[in-house]
Amino acid sequence: MAYEHLIVKPFIKSAKELVHHREGQGIRYVFLDERIINETSLYTIVRKVDNLQEDEISHVDAHAHNCDSAFLFIGNKENLEGLISEVTLEDEKYLIKSPASVFIPKGLKHSYRFIEGSGYYTNIVLSSNYNNTII
């Protein structure tokens, strides 16, 4: 049982703990970061959203990281559909319909906002401390 410490449960925490973030819709679960597993090299959250109201202004200000990251959009409908969001990469906006992933190379300014639907948004950052990656 030398590896039990690697199996963990997430905790609920507002996005207000992050630089350039506000509360946002839904419930945000922190799955991995240095608070959960000290030796991890990943930051991973899942946000569960239901019956979204369009965010006219994102709860996330545009920002960039000093490492790669990714967004995953997973809807509650058949074939993982049912979640619509808008992702901004630099100054270009993209309508994202789930299921979809967005790879964000280090240094690329980005943001997202919810449009409609229900499902799950996952953010993975290749660092154990999100705030320390902000450029």
pLDDT over 80 at 64, yes or no: yes
pLDDT over 80 at 1, yes or no: no
- pLDDT bracket for residue 55 (50, 70, 90): confident
Average pLDDT over the chain reads 96
Which two three-digit tokens encode residue 51? 């019956």
What is the rounded CA–CA span in Å between residue 37 and residue 71? 21
Q: What are the chain's domains?
A: 10-133 (2.60.120.10)
- Percent pLDDT > 90 in the chain is 93
Average pLDDT over residues 100-128: 98
